[in-house]
Amino acid sequence: MRTSRAWWPPAGVLAGAGGLATSYAVAELLHVRDSPVVAVAEGVIALTPGKVAKWAIDTFGTDDKLVLILGILAILVVVFGLIGRWAHRRWWAAASGYAVLAGVAALAVLTKPTPSLIDLAPIVVGLLTWLVALALLAEWLRRWELVEDGDDPAAEPMHTRRHFFLVAGAVAAVAAAGGLVGRVASSARRRAEQSRRLLRIEGVTAPAVPDGVVVGVEGVSPWQTPNDDFYLIDTAIIRPTIAPADWELRIHGMVEREIRLSYADLVRREITEDWITLSCVSNEVGGELVGNAWWSGVRLAALLAEAGPREGADAVLQTSEDGWTCGTPLAALMDERNAMLAVAMNGEPLPIEHGFPVRTIVPGLYGYVSATKWVVDMEVTRFADITAYWTDKGWAEHGPVKPASTIEVPGDGADVPAGELVCAGVAWFQHTGIAAVEVQVDGGPWRRASLAATPNVDTWVQWRAVVDLPPGEHLLRVRAVDAEGRTQTGVVADVLPDGATGWHTIGVTAKA
């Protein structure tokens, strides 16, 4: 191994290991379900003929998957070595080798059920690591070769060799760091997921959808939004994974008594439960950033009263584990509404991406000023003294929800039979409530829709109306009347700075 020639294959293997390690780290950090190698292994399993699979299980027993992964890694070592050799004379061959490997991984990832683009991030990072690492190693091997051939009399032989080994050491360090980051992230995540699965919270009950809340028109959003379908908004690139045993909430600032609360302290308290609709300030008119769930948690009013806010305080600056902040009106957290530290969603411990183990839910406020996921700190303060994540970016300091209504059936642009047509959708104005929904055809008179039931003023309501459409193109429009008798404004406003307004309008073509 004293000549540069011998080092091309090991350089390929080293670069290969570096790419595998960074892709593993990215997969674990981003909570991508499978790292590329595991995805390929699962792809191989899916493609394996039954006979071969049976032979593998008979031969290797329950270790069959481990054997498969080790087999894939062994093949990769050989391929990486070859790629290193190719890099000596034909860089394009080496680069294509990596591209083919990345392509196989991408295929394995994208053919899994419900693939998403983020699942490709580990593969892209791995491919880039391969190319950069091999390019650096190849550069110094080439210089070393020049020195050996005596083509570069100016160069110092020892120096060039040493430099190659330095680069190799750096690539090895990247590989080790990637592996370590991946391990740490995966064990933190597994710990949080495991504790979540084992959690039984006394006082948390399963949701029972109340009578009469659905209008029974196909195509309308389910009244209860399942956790898996609930919209997701957050700024966390790496979502926090907090085991309940590691969670603590500090309530401090302008209070008589600072409170520190462990998870056990929290769930020992009385559990409150309610149907509450959560919506995002970024939801466009007719948009889908809204969901309705059965939330279980601990009332904030009682907790804050124990802390004892001082005269002059009007805000609570909430901070999440990942450093996101929002300012919430103290009054909204302490009045009669069911503002809570939620621990369960639809009868299950909060999903990790929805804020496990504890998040805030405040009926009547947009999420960006209230619904802190992974909440760990609440500072009682004054709006005049604080700024928060979104208010720093030009969004309004106060974010009370605005009334909204949407037509879900028929869909925009649909062809419908002429004559009587059933329309339906949802409307919401959390913590004030909806008194009526009205529908209009082609700018004509507004007609009242019929409303389904609601258990409280904090949830959305489903509506249904029958309109009569002659053949041709038509515009359908919807608006709500709130429980205080105000009609939803038709003035069009953008989502920035404090939520969209305007009447949801769709076009349909009635066919004779």
Ligand X SMILES: Nc1nc2c(c(=O)[nH]1)N[C@H]1C(S)=C(S)[C@@H](COP(=O)(O)O)O[C@H]1N2
Q: Please give the residue ranges that form the binding site for Mo ion (CB under 5 A).
A: 233, 280, 367-368
DSSP letter (8 states) at residue 487: B
Whole-number Å distance between alpha carbons of 296 and 91: 59
* Residue 224 beta carbon to Mo ion: minimum distance, rounded to whole angstroms: 20
How many CB atoms neighbour CB 257 within 10 A? Answer: 9
Binding segment toward ligand X, per CB under 6 A, in 168-176, 318-326, 335-343, 441-449: 318-326
Sign of CA dihedral 219, 224, 228, 230: positive
Return the residue nearest ligand X (CB atom): 367
* Residue 294 beta carbon to Mo ion: minimum distance, rounded to whole angstroms: 20
* Residue 344 beta carbon to ligand X: minimum distance, rounded to whole angstroms: 13
Whole-number Å distance between alpha carbons of 240 and 372: 12
Query: Pairing relation of β-strands 504-511 and 259-262?
Result: unpaired
**Which distant-in-sequence residues (6+ apart) come within 8 Å of 55 by Cβ?**
none
Whole-number Å distance between alpha carbons of 403 and 16: 55
* Residue 233 beta carbon to Mo ion: minimum distance, rounded to whole angstroms: 5
Interaction between residue 344 and ligand X (CB under 6 A):
no
User: Distance of alpha carbon 382 from its chain centroid, rounded?
Assistant: 31
Interaction between residue 322 and ligand X (CB under 6 A):
yes
Compare residues 233 and 493 and give the one whose CB is closer to Mo ion: 233
Whole-number Å distance between alpha carbons of 314 and 306: 16
Interaction between residue 234 and ligand X (CB under 6 A):
yes
Compare residues 232 and 264 and give the one whose CB is closer to ligand X: 232
Written as one letter, the residue type at 443 is: G
Query: What is the footprint of ligand X within residues 253-282 (CB under 6 A)?
Result: 278, 280
**Number of residues this chain uses to bind ligand X (CB under 6 A):** 19
Query: What is the footprint of ligand X within residues 349-388 (CB under 6 A)?
Result: 354, 367-368, 371-374
Query: Which member of 233, 259, 386, 496 binds ligand X (CB under 6 A)?
Result: 233
**Binder of residue 230, out of Mo ion, ligand X, none (CB less than 5 to 8 A by kind):** ligand X
**Which distant-in-sequence residues (6+ apart) come within 8 Å of 294 by Cβ?**
207, 224, 273, 274, 275, 345, 346, 347
**Binder of residue 372, out of Mo ion, ligand X, none (CB less than 5 to 8 A by kind):** ligand X
Compare residues 8 and 395 and give the one whose CB is closer to Mo ion: 395
**Binder of residue 346, out of Mo ion, ligand X, none (CB less than 5 to 8 A by kind):** none
Whole-number Å distance between alpha carbons of 147 and 154: 9
CB 122 within 8 A of CB 28: no
Residues in contact with ligand X by the rule CB under 6 A: 230-236, 278, 280, 320, 322, 324, 354, 367-368, 371-374
